[in-house]
Amino acid sequence: MRLKSLISLVAFFVFGGVVMNELEFSDLLEKIKDYSEEDIKQVTKAYLYAKNLHDGQMRQSGEPYIIHPLNVCYTLAVMHADCNTLCAALLHDVLEDTPATYEEIEQEFNTDVAKLVDGVTKISNIAFSSKTDRNYANIRKLINGFTEDVRIIIIKLSDRLHNMRTLQFKRPEKQKEISIETIEIFAPLAYCIGAYRIKCDLEDLSLMYLKPDEYKNIVDKKQTIENRSNKLLVEMLKSIEEALNDRSIPNEIKIKTKNIYGIYRQLNAGHKISDIHDLLALRVMVESINDCYQTLGIIHSKYRPLNDKFKDYIYNPKTNMYRSLHTTVFGKEDKLVQARIRTFDMDLVASYGLPAYWYLNKECAREKMQEDLINKWQSFDALVEINNAFLDNQEFVTKVKQEVLSEKIYVYTPKGETMELPKGATPIDFAYKIHTDVGNTMVSAIVNDEIVPIDYELKNGDIVKIQTDELEYGSREGWLDKAHTTYAKRKIKEFNRK
């Protein structure tokens, strides 16, 4: 099927009950009707301000340009974003594409709005040797801004999402260029903040342009499996729902299937589509953590579990704040079905990530977002470390891709603490992540009760114990080449200089 036919599959994507390419300002006002009168007044002012500045400008689709910031703002309003974030979304292109200045925005609105707009604005007042250099500098600016205020990346992800939804109006080579950047930078950033819905949409839209034939093939297979499995899943849903109701456990259950890019990755790794254990899923939402574990027992009493596919992300949350119980069970006809059991609040975070804090934490949402980003996202320190280590923008972006935005592994200390590391990490990286002194005094490593070489590549689920000796330092010759993370390499260099 040609790409234009594929685009028709997602051209009328519905988000929050409104068809995105038919969005009007009245739809935004309806979405924020529960905001304060002053907030609605400010959002209206920002819309009119942006509409006036973008007057006469058109998108490549032929639509007035204001349609784009309006869509970006609406996506954020669905997530209950604060007033300043909504205003910044409406104004996010005015510094780049209109005569407006930072000082004017600050005066018309406030410093917070001006900083957010500046954070998502591309650098335009510096001479670069090439377009590529400019692009690396802008990615660096965006990522560094995100460490200071996570709302910057949330606005940018909403911006990229609408651009991907309207990518059919770009030239084919531009479509591929933007899709590659999206899959390498923006989808992983969405994962970092737990914005699963945005991540999946960005991945699927990118795949549609990068691998249109494979995309269409997976869409067809997925549809066939959904049609064949729907009766089975509905029966399981009703059975579990009835058991929960009998025990007076308030609940809501939804049928879900894996996103297209997720299936593509599994198939690309050599798996058959019938072997993907989380292809079909039931999302079970209850009120309390105690209800979650009761529900797990009820499901296991009805359906035989696949023992090695149980994950407790409530007791051990993922570093992007995701919490849920995962169990894979055998349904009728021995079909594998994954059950994801979580509270209603956990489900909000699982869907939207840090942006869910706007709904859950209300007035202190921004502070709570930033606090959890710094304290719970283990790659935050790595990002700061890379920024300090690399002056060259291309080297910075390359290292961030390798170490922060790449596939992660999750290993454990002997006490059961979860440690997140980039794929390819060794016991040296693990030791220095625990503490500098542990790395400096490491003499050997034990993984899963067996001594391993220090350049052993750690794998998901490994239990790692570092043996140290304060008097007998381990040999540092060659360690620099065997370490994977920027932090470990810096500490080894510092140790060798002593």
Q: What is the CATH number of the domain that holds 416?
A: 3.10.20.30
**Do 425 and 345 reside in the same domain of the chain?**
no
pLDDT along the chain (498 residues), means of 10: 40 42 89 96 98 95 95 97 98 95 97 96 73 90 89 96 95 95 95 94 97 96 91 95 97 95 92 86 97 97 91 90 95 90 96 94 91 90 92 94 91 90 95 92 94 94 92 71 93 84
**Do 39 and 70 reside in the same domain of the chain?**
yes
Q: What is the CATH number of the domain that holds 169?
A: 1.10.3210.10
Q: Is residue 402 in some structural domain?
A: no
What pLDDT digit, counting tens, does each position of 314-364 carry? 998 888 889 999 999 998 888 899 999 999 999 999 999 999 999 998 889
**Do 55 and 166 reside in the same domain of the chain?**
yes
Spatial CB neighbours of 444, under 8 Å, sequence gap ≥ 6: 451, 454, 466, 467, 474
Name the domain boundary from 141, 163, 195: 195
User: Which amino acid appears at position 334 of this protein?
Assistant: D
Q: Which domain holds residue 22?
A: 3-195
**Do 224 and 323 reside in the same domain of the chain?**
yes
Q: Is residue 376 in some structural domain?
A: no
Please list the active-site residues: 96-97
CA angle at 453 for the pair 447 and 456, rounded to the nearest 5°:
70
Note the pLDDT of residue 299.
97
DSSP 485: S
Give the separation between CA 201 and CA 204, rounded to whole angstroms: 5
Note the pLDDT of residue 494.
87
Note the pLDDT of residue 474.
55
**Do 411 and 445 reside in the same domain of the chain?**
yes
Tokens standing for residue 199: 């991540």
Note the pLDDT of residue 21.
55
Q: Is residue 361 in some structural domain?
A: no
Q: Is residue 173 in some structural domain?
A: yes
Where residue 114 falls (left for φ over 0; alpha for ψ -120 to 50; beta otherwise) is: alpha
Pairing of strands 450-452, 464-468: unpaired
**Do 138 and 11 reside in the same domain of the chain?**
yes
Tokens standing for residue 251: 């609940």
**Do 186 and 242 reside in the same domain of the chain?**
no
Tally of CB atoms within 10 A around 180: 13
**Do 189 and 50 reside in the same domain of the chain?**
yes
Helix axes 172-181, 196-210, angle to 10 degrees: 140
Q: Is residue 109 in some structural domain?
A: yes
**Do 135 and 40 reside in the same domain of the chain?**
yes
Name the domain boundary from 309, 330, 352: 352
Q: Is residue 158 in some structural domain?
A: yes
Predicted model pTM: 0.90
What pLDDT digit, counting tens, does each position of 209-262 carry? 999 999 999 999 999 989 989 999 999 999 999 999 999 999 999 999 999 999
The answer to whether the Cα torsion of 68, 73, 75, 76 is positive or negative is positive
**Do 432 and 336 reside in the same domain of the chain?**
no
**Do 134 and 266 reside in the same domain of the chain?**
no
Check if the beta carbon of residue 337 is closer than 8 Å to that of residue 281: yes
Q: Is residue 238 in some structural domain?
A: yes
Q: Is residue 371 in some structural domain?
A: no
Name the domain boundary from 137, 167, 195: 195
Q: What is the CATH number of the domain that holds 235?
A: 3.30.460.10
* Cross-strand bridge partners of residue 450: 447
Check if the beta carbon of residue 220 is closer than 8 Å to that of residue 273: no
Q: How many independent structural domains does the chain possess?
A: 3
Q: Give the CA count within 13 Å in the CB-facing half-sphere of 198.
A: 34
**Do 29 and 76 reside in the same domain of the chain?**
yes
